């Protein structure tokens, strides 16, 4: 990696430099681990104590924190965002060379700029954009479209007919376009499979985590709008729509036909039931079950505190008797009111 001077960083990304502009930086690092040729950042006050002991050559931080910096620093109103830009500049990633690996099986015409890894399979009638990378072991079904500059890591499966936008990043093991879970009950208790003839439409700038699954629609399409970020092991049911720039943490499950608004965040392990709608700008806490629609932006939570097991046994057993407790309180209120009346 080439070294850059602090002066070059500020010239490129703005901010105010306090210290020697000729100091060279080769990488970003955490406050705790940074070496003198690395740049770090401080965005959360929780970590401010690390500022006094860091060996970083420079730190990106807010105006308020700058005074406490023992090293050179770059003052920014958004240290985390500034740091992200610097890190992206220093770590552009490296793309595998263009070309089709001899062990790949490709049945569509591809631009010369596309890279197809070992053992990857691309079906017929696919439309693959410039500079797309299809990692080793991927399986891309018939009629799939993938926009320019998208990157599929190893072993991604894309079922026939799915559409992926530009600049997508799809991590290993993700499955896009498997059949939604749709069955009609027969009189004898068995299930009749309903053909899942909808597709999956994924916008631009979407990231999809490892082993995440996005089912195809039953009739209409499953839709992931521009800029959505999905962490690992998320399950997206058929006909779900996730609005632009929403970000969902790991292990979230979304049942069929749920609609999530734009710029929402969903914490890890949450479950969103089917056929409900969540407004734009809603933040769901980790571990929450969303069992009905949410019509207003805001923060929503539905989790229980953990306790030492013995305390939990005592307290949570009461949950089975909450209704009885409420009845007792009502009875007491009536009795006390009567007593107070007699007292007069």
Give catalytic residues, as residue numbers.
Answer: 238
Contacting residues for 322 by C-beta, under 8 A, at least 6 apart: none
Q: Are 206 and 230 in contact (CB under 8 A)?
A: yes
Using CA atoms of 332, 334, 335, 340 in order, give the dihedral in degrees to the nearest 10: 120
Site string for a second copy, 196-235 (x = CB under 8 A): -x-------x-x-xxx-x-x---xx------x-x-xxx-x
Which of residues 36, 99, 111, 302 is near a second copy by CB under 8 A? Answer: 302
Q: Between 129 and 182, name the residue whose CB sits nearer to a second copy.
A: 182
Position 3 contacts a second copy (CB under 8 A)? no
Which of residues 42, 57, 159, 223 is near a second copy by CB under 8 A? Answer: 159
Burial 242-267 (b: 16+ CB within 10 A, else e): bbbbbbbbbbbbbbbbbbbbbebbbb
Which of residues 58, 200, 251, 266 is near a second copy by CB under 8 A? Answer: 251
Q: How many CB atoms lie within 10 A of CB 192?
A: 9
Position 253 contacts a second copy (CB under 8 A)? yes
Write down the residue that tokens 């009885």 correspond to. Answer: 324
Q: Kindly state the DSSP code that residue 239 receives in the 8-state scheme.
A: T
| Residue of 260, 146, 282, 271 whose CA lies nearest to 204 | 146
| Residue of 279, 315, 322, 284 whose CA lies nearest to 300 | 284
Which of residues 3, 12, 16, 32 is near a second copy by CB under 8 A? Answer: 32
Position 61 contacts a second copy (CB under 8 A)? no
Segment near a second copy (CB under 8 A); pick from 6-14, 51-59, 65-73, 190-198: 190-198
Q: Between 22 and 96, name the residue whose CB sits nearer to a second copy.
A: 96
Segment near a second copy (CB under 8 A); pick from 3-11, 52-60, 67-75, 291-299: 291-299
Q: Between 64 and 335, name the residue whose CB sits nearer to a second copy.
A: 335
Which of residues 5, 19, 263, 277 is near a second copy by CB under 8 A? Answer: 263
Position 155 contacts a second copy (CB under 8 A)? yes
- Give, as ranges, the residues between 80 and 139 that touch a second copy (CB under 8 A): 80-81, 83-85, 87-88, 90-91, 93, 101, 103, 105, 117-119, 121, 135-137, 139
What is the DSSP pairing of strand 241-242 with strand 222-224? Answer: parallel
Position 22 contacts a second copy (CB under 8 A)? no
Q: Are 218 and 180 in contact (CB under 8 A)?
A: yes
The residue count for binding a second copy (CB under 8 A) is: 129
Q: Alpha carbon of 274 to those of 98, 266, 298: distances in Å?
A: 42, 15, 20
CA distance 173 to 230: 14
Q: Between 11 and 81, name the residue whose CB sits nearer to a second copy.
A: 81
Q: Say whether 286 sits in a helix, a strand or coil.
A: coil
Which of residues 98, 125, 179, 276 is near a second copy by CB under 8 A? Answer: 179
Position 329 contacts a second copy (CB under 8 A)? yes
What is the DSSP pairing of strand 235-236 with strand 207-208? Answer: unpaired
Q: Between 132 and 175, name the residue whose CB sits nearer to a second copy.
A: 175
Which of residues 53, 67, 112, 305 is near a second copy by CB under 8 A? Answer: 305
**What are the structure tokens assigned to 275, written together?**
């056929």
**What are the structure tokens assigned to 117, written together?**
């890894």
Residue 16 CB, nearest approach to a second copy (Å) = 19
Position 286 contacts a second copy (CB under 8 A)? yes
């Amino acid at each position: 990696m080439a070294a850059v001077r602090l002066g070059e960083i500020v010239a490129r990304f703005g901010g105010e430099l306090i210290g020697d502009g000729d100091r060279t930086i080769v990488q970003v690092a955490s406050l705790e681990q940074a070496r003198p040729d690395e740049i770090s950042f401080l965005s959360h006050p929780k970590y401010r104590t690390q500022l006094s002991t860091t060996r970083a050559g420079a730190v990106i931080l807010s105006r308020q924190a700058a005074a406490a910096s023992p090293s050179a620093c770059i003052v920014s109103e958004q240290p985390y965002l500034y740091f992200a830009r610097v890190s992206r500049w220093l770590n552009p990633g490296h793309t595998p060379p263009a070309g089709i690996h001899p062990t790949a099986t490709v049945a569509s015409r591809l631009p010369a700029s596309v890279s197809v890894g070992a053992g990857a399979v691309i079906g017929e009638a696919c439309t693959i954009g410039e500079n797309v990378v299809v990692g080793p072991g991927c399986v891309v079904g018939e009629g799939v479209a993938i926009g320019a500059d998208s990157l599929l890591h190893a072993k991604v499966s894309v079922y026939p007919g799915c559409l992926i936008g530009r600049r997508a990043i799809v991590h290993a093991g993700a499955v896009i376009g498997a059949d939604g879970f749709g069955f009609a009950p027969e009189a004898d208790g068995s299930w009749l499979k309903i053909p899942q003839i909808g597709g999956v439409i994924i916008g631009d700038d979407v990231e999809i985590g490892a082993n995440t699954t996005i089912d195809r629609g039953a009739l209409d399409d499953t839709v992931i709008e521009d800029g959505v970020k999905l962490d690992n092991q998320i399950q997206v049911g058929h006909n779900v729509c996730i609005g632009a720039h929403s970000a969902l943490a790991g292990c979230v499950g979304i049942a069929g036909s749920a609609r999530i608004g734009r710029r929402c965040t969903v914490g890890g392990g949450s479950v969103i039931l089917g056929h409900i709608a969540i407004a734009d700008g809603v933040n769901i806490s980790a571990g929450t079950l969303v069992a009905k629609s949410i019509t207003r932006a805001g923060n929503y939570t539905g989790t229980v505190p953990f306790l030492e097991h013995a305390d939990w046994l005592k307290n949570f057993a009461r949950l089975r008797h909450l209704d009885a407790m409420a009845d007792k309180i009502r009875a007491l209120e009536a009795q006390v009111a009567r007593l107070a009346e007699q007292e007069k």
